[in-house]
Structure 1
Amino acid sequence: MNAFLLWLEEKFMPPMARLSEQRHLRAIRDGVISTLSLIIVGSFFLIIAQPPYKPLADAVKPYVGDIMIPFRLTTGLMALYAAYGMGYSLAKSYKLDGVSGGVLSLVAFLMATVPLNVDAVMNEAVKAGVKGAAPMGWVLPMGNLGGAGMFTAILAMIFAVETLRLLKKYNVTFKMPEQVPDSVARSFEALIPAAVIITVVWVIRVLLKFDINARLLSLFSPVKNVMGNNLAGVVVPVLLITLLWSAGIHGVSVIGSVIRPIWLVLLDENMKAVAAGQAMPNIAPEPFFQWLIWIGGSGATIGLCLLMVFSKSEYLKRVGRFSLVPGIFNINEPMIFGVPLVMNPILAIPFVIGPTVTSIISYFAVQLNLVGKFYILAPWTLPAPIGAFMATGGDWRVVILVLINIAITTLIYYPFFKVYEKKMIAEERANAELATSESI
């Protein structure tokens, strides 16, 4: 195990560390994360509109349309918000104006969606005397502005900000006098990039009738199906994340930057299915990992933390006690760097094996409908049983699965913990004897 960890540190860690700081991946990560508060709030309105208790569902049924409005304008537009956030982040990484980067990314994304004129349809409804019908004019279809449009938002962001950067690099912009306010100067500097971006996307989408979003979805469809409904798509990210953490790299930051857009598409599909009263299609959107695998944080360390609280090693006991409360809320950096779990050849084994085992168990539990599927993005700092209960829309069976997974990971950690504890006790005794001899 020492040789393997050394290989991770010397060969695997450097390229992964560089990947985690790659500006485009970092922009994607930051932009998507900036939308999470909206998605979380919108998810709760979906729970209210589609409660798991039938008498309550019947009671709110007449008001579902009104209740769903916050959901549709937050979660239903997640790619719209992400496009601005990602563009802002990427522009700032180039030391460009963040607002211009965000706005240009947003317009590039919106240009990929063709508005529809529904006047004719609505006029016929008005003539037919349909209650509440009125001419509406041009409308923007929302179907591709949520999770389904995330890949398009990413592509639009890269195209828009890179265009802005290149044109500014070669001075293809309007330069305003120093006396002009900064806000006005920024607007004119973005004028030529905006013209180029809008024209290019217009030609592709309208004149050439190339549906960017449909093509991207078909391109990523095989990957999406593997990630959402395939055992390998569940186990492989868990292995990569835990291996990276074992080598001292924030595994979720690296792997999540690549996979999170796919996870959000899966989550969006599940949400839309629930909103339409249909069966959810996907087993493993991101909440699946958060609530069934990363219990207590990456590596599922809550079981190890409980073992350490009662350790015979004074050091491990102290680390366990000050890590317990953060661990309950899925924050385990005190343990990862306090035990430490990084570059620890003894505890790295259960750190990788434990989550892998529970990911397999959880996958089959959801696939066989022993527990409900996930469609709510609950705050990640909730205790796992509560978060899992909320993320499945109130399925009490998932609470039992969470407790089973905690028990399994604790049992997997136990023999390795005892070996490490014995080592720590020996070191503490040696240090105590050395201090005593030096004091005499």
Structure 2
Amino acid sequence: MEKFLKWIEEKFMPPMARLAEQRHLRAIRDGIISTLSLIIVGSFFLIIAFPPVKSWADAVAPNVGKILIPFRMTMGLMALYAAYGMGYSLAKSYKLDGVSGGVLSLAAFLMMTIPVNVDGVLKKAAEAGIQGANPIGWALPMGNLGGAGMFAAILAMIFAVEVLRILKKYNVTLKMPEQVPESVSRSFEALIPAAVIIVVLWFIRVWLNFDIQKFIMDIFAPVKGVAGNSIWGVLVPIFLITLLWSAGIHGASVIGSVLRPIWLVLLEENAAALAAGQPLPNIAPEQFFQWLVWIGGAGATLGLAILLCFSKSEYLKKVGRFSIIPAIFNINEPMMFGVPLVMNPILAIPFIVAPLVIGIISYIAVSIGIVGRFAINAPWTLPAPIGAYFATNGSISAVILVIINILISMVIYYPFFKVYEKKMIEEEKAQIAATESTLNM
């Protein structure tokens, strides 16, 4: 195991570390993270609209449409917000104006969606004998502005900011005198890039009638299916994240940068299905991992934290006692660097194996319907049983599964923990003996 970890550190870790800091992936990560507060707040309106208690659900049923408006304006537009956040982050990484990068990315994303003349639709409906709707003019269809549009938002962001960068590099911009306020000067510097971006996407989307959104979704449809509804979509991310963490790399940051757009699409589809009163289509959005696998943090370490609290090693017992409270709230950095779990050949095995085992059990439980599926983005710092309950919109079986998974992780960690504990006790005794020997001299 030591040779394996050494190989990871020397061969596997450097390219993964570079991947985590690749500017486009970092911009995607930062832009999506910037939307999380809106997504979390919007998700809770799903709970209000569809409470887990039947009597409450019946009471709010007449007002479901009104209650869901914040959900539709937050989670339903997540790609819209992310487009700006990602563009801002990527532009700043190039030392360009972040606001211009964000606005141009947002404009590029919106140019991929053709507005609909609702008046014309209603007129045709009236001609067909359908009455009762009020004319409202032009409107943007919201279907591609939420999770379904995330890949298009990423493409729009890269295109817009790279156009801004290239034109700036070759001085194809409008320069204003120094006396002009900086905010006005920035706007004029973005004028030519804005024209290029809008004209190119207008020609592609309108005149060529090429649906960029549909094209991208068709490409990613197989990936989305594997990620959301197959055992490999569960096991591969778990393995890579824990493998990277055991070598000292923040695995969730690396793998999440690649998979989080897909996970958000899966969550948005589940949330939309819940809002429409339909069966939830996807098994494993990110919340599946958060509440059923990463219990106590990456590596399912809450079970280990409990074991540490009763360790015969004074050091491990202290680590366990100052780690247990953070672990309850899914923060395990005290254990990662206190035990340590990073670069620890003994505990690396259960750190990888325990999440894989409970991931398989959880996948089976959710796929066959024993445990409810995830449609709500509950705050990740909630204790796992509570977070699982909210994220599944009131599935008691999810709470029970969380508790079972904690016990399973404890069983898997236990033999390796005892081996490591024995090693630490021997080191402590040797240290005490060395100290006494020094004092007696």
Q: Matches of 1:103 and 1:407 in 2, distance apart? A: 49
**Structure 2 counterpart of 1:208:** 208
The farther-off stretch of 142-151 and 59-68 is: 59-68
Q: 1:105 touches 1:161 (CA, 8 Å); kept in 2?
A: yes
**Structure 2 counterpart of 1:345:** 345
CA deviations 1:359-382 (Å, max 9, x no partner) are: 000000001100100000000000
Quote the offset at 1:236 in angstroms.
Answer: 0.5
Q: 1:297 touches 1:327 (CA, 8 Å); kept in 2?
A: yes
**Structure 2 counterpart of 1:42:** 42
Q: TM-score, normalised by structure 2?
A: 0.98
The farther-off stretch of 42-51 and 207-216 is: 42-51
**Structure 2 counterpart of 1:246:** 246
Following TM superposition, the consecutive aligned residue runs of length 4 or more in structure 1 with deviations greater than 6 angstroms are 124-129
Judging changes above 3 Å, is the alpha-carbon distance between structure 1 residues 125 and 222 closer, same or farther for their aligned structure 2 residues? closer
**Structure 2 counterpart of 1:9:** 9
Alignment of 1:70-85 (within 5 A): 70-85=70-85
**Structure 2 counterpart of 1:300:** 300
Q: Matches of 2:380 and 2:176 in 1, distance apart? A: 46
Q: TM-score, normalised by structure 1?
A: 0.98
Quote the offset at 1:157 in angstroms.
Answer: 0.2
Alignment of 1:18-97 (within 5 A): 18-97=18-97
Quote the offset at 1:428 in angstroms.
Answer: 0.5
**Structure 2 counterpart of 1:334:** 334
Quote the offset at 1:134 in angstroms.
Answer: 2.1
For residue 135 of structure 1, give the secondary structure of its aligned residue in structure 2: coil
CA deviations 1:53-96 (Å, max 9, x no partner) are: 22222221111111010000000000000000000000000000
**Structure 2 counterpart of 1:382:** 382
**Structure 1 counterpart of 2:235:** 235
Q: 1:126 touches 1:134 (CA, 8 Å); kept in 2?
A: no
Quote the offset at 1:249 in angstroms.
Answer: 0.2
Q: Matches of 1:384 and 1:55 in 2, distance apart? A: 26
Where does structure 2 lack aligned partners over 5 or more consecutive residues?
Answer: none
For residue 122 of structure 2, give the secondary structure of its aligned residue in structure 1: helix
Q: Matches of 1:427 and 1:398 in 2, distance apart? A: 41
- Residue 103 in structure 1 maps to residue 103 in structure 2: yes
For residue 258 of structure 2, give the secondary structure of its aligned residue in structure 1: helix
Q: Matches of 2:282 and 2:221 in 1, distance apart? A: 13
Quote the offset at 1:347 in angstroms.
Answer: 0.2
Quote the offset at 1:137 in angstroms.
Answer: 0.7
Where does structure 1 lack aligned partners over 5 or more consecutive residues?
Answer: none
**Structure 2 counterpart of 1:149:** 149
- Residue 356 in structure 1 maps to residue 341 in structure 2: no
Quote the offset at 1:135 in angstroms.
Answer: 1.5
Quote the offset at 1:439 in angstroms.
Answer: 1.1
Amino acid corresponding to residue 289 of structure 2 in structure 1? F
Alignment of 1:164-203 (within 5 A): 164-203=164-203
**Structure 1 counterpart of 2:422:** 422
CA deviations 1:5-30 (Å, max 9, x no partner) are: 00000000000000000000000000
Q: Matches of 1:81 and 1:110 in 2, distance apart? A: 11
Q: Matches of 1:63 and 1:317 in 2, distance apart? A: 53
Q: 1:122 touches 1:136 (CA, 8 Å); kept in 2?
A: no
CA deviations 1:371-430 (Å, max 9, x no partner) are: 100000000000000000000000111000000000000000000000000000000110
Quote the offset at 1:109 in angstroms.
Answer: 0.1
CA deviations 1:160-179 (Å, max 9, x no partner) are: 00000000000000011111
**Structure 1 counterpart of 2:284:** 284
Alignment of 1:396-407 (within 5 A): 396-407=396-407
Quote the offset at 1:124 in angstroms.
Answer: 6.6
- Residue 137 in structure 1 maps to residue 137 in structure 2: yes
Quote the offset at 1:129 in angstroms.
Answer: 9.4
Amino acid corresponding to residue 62 of structure 2 in structure 1? P
Quote the offset at 1:47 in angstroms.
Answer: 1.3
For residue 171 of structure 1, give the secondary structure of its aligned residue in structure 2: coil
For residue 76 of structure 2, give the secondary structure of its aligned residue in structure 1: helix
Amino acid corresponding to residue 84 of structure 1 in structure 2? Y
**Structure 2 counterpart of 1:433:** 433
- Percent of residue pairs identical: 73
Q: Matches of 1:115 and 1:426 in 2, distance apart? A: 71
CA deviations 1:36-61 (Å, max 9, x no partner) are: 11011111111111223222222211
Amino acid corresponding to residue 289 of structure 1 in structure 2? F
Q: Matches of 2:241 and 2:153 in 1, distance apart? A: 25
Amino acid corresponding to residue 197 of structure 2 in structure 1? I
Quote the offset at 1:287 in angstroms.
Answer: 0.3
CA deviations 1:279-318 (Å, max 9, x no partner) are: 1110000100000000000001001111111111111111
Q: Matches of 2:124 and 2:79 in 1, distance apart? A: 33
For residue 379 of structure 1, give the secondary structure of its aligned residue in structure 2: coil
Quote the offset at 1:118 in angstroms.
Answer: 1.0
What is the aligned-residue RMSD (CA, Å)?
1.2
- Residue 269 in structure 1 maps to residue 269 in structure 2: yes
Q: Matches of 1:340 and 1:121 in 2, distance apart? A: 63
Amino acid corresponding to residue 178 of structure 1 in structure 2? E
For residue 341 of structure 1, give the secondary structure of its aligned residue in structure 2: coil
Q: 1:173 touches 1:190 (CA, 8 Å); kept in 2?
A: yes
Q: Matches of 1:303 and 1:234 in 2, distance apart? A: 21
Q: Matches of 2:219 and 2:86 in 1, distance apart? A: 22
Q: 1:309 touches 1:316 (CA, 8 Å); kept in 2?
A: yes
Q: 1:147 touches 1:268 (CA, 8 Å); kept in 2?
A: yes
Q: 1:123 touches 1:134 (CA, 8 Å); kept in 2?
A: no
Q: 1:39 touches 1:78 (CA, 8 Å); kept in 2?
A: yes
